Amino acid sequence: MLEEFVKTVTDFAQANQSLLLPMILVIAFLECLAFVSIIAPATVLFTALGAVAGAAGIGLVPLALTATIGSVAGYWVSYWLGLWLGPAILERWPLNRRPDLVRKTHDFFERWGAVGILISHFWGQVRPLAPLVAGIVKMSPLPFHIANLVGSLGWSFGVFYASGTVGSLLR
């Protein structure tokens, strides 16, 4: 089922290359938004779309900066939800189905703090919940946003560098 979905999205992107950057923006936002990434991780989509973009001659910088904007926004919304809804959000679906993941993310965040926010962009298991937990525990906004921006930049450039390299090999 995931393979069919990725193929459909990839085919759409190939046929509508002018929509590739907006697609990446939305997918990056959803990938970094609490709840959504738990249900459907988008790393495979990034790899496929990065390859499409590389084959189409779209450069690394526009891809990575677009994904960075989506990623920063997804983390910011998740952080805000954590601040606004507090610990009660952890009792709701889908988080109440994954108490192990919530506990792992909380422990990770408690150990690493702002550095954990940066690192969480690269670790798929904690990515969807790290900003939410940061909001729940009322992490100071400035360190959160700095770590979010740096982590988003590194993650976006890394993902699209790798997938763009694959795409350039396919040209």
Domain range for 96 is 2-170
Number of domains in the chain: 1
The one-letter code for the residue type at 15 is A
Token digits for 3?
């393979």
Strands (E), 50-127: none
The neighbour count for residue 96, using CB atoms within 10 Å, is: 11
Token digits for 114?
């702002």
Q: How far apart are CA 4 and CA 49, in angstroms?
A: 14
21-62 pLDDT, tens per residue? 999 999 999 988 887 766 656 778 888 888 888 778 888 899
- pTM score, two decimals? 0.87
Torsion sign, CA atoms 37, 156, 127, 92 = negative
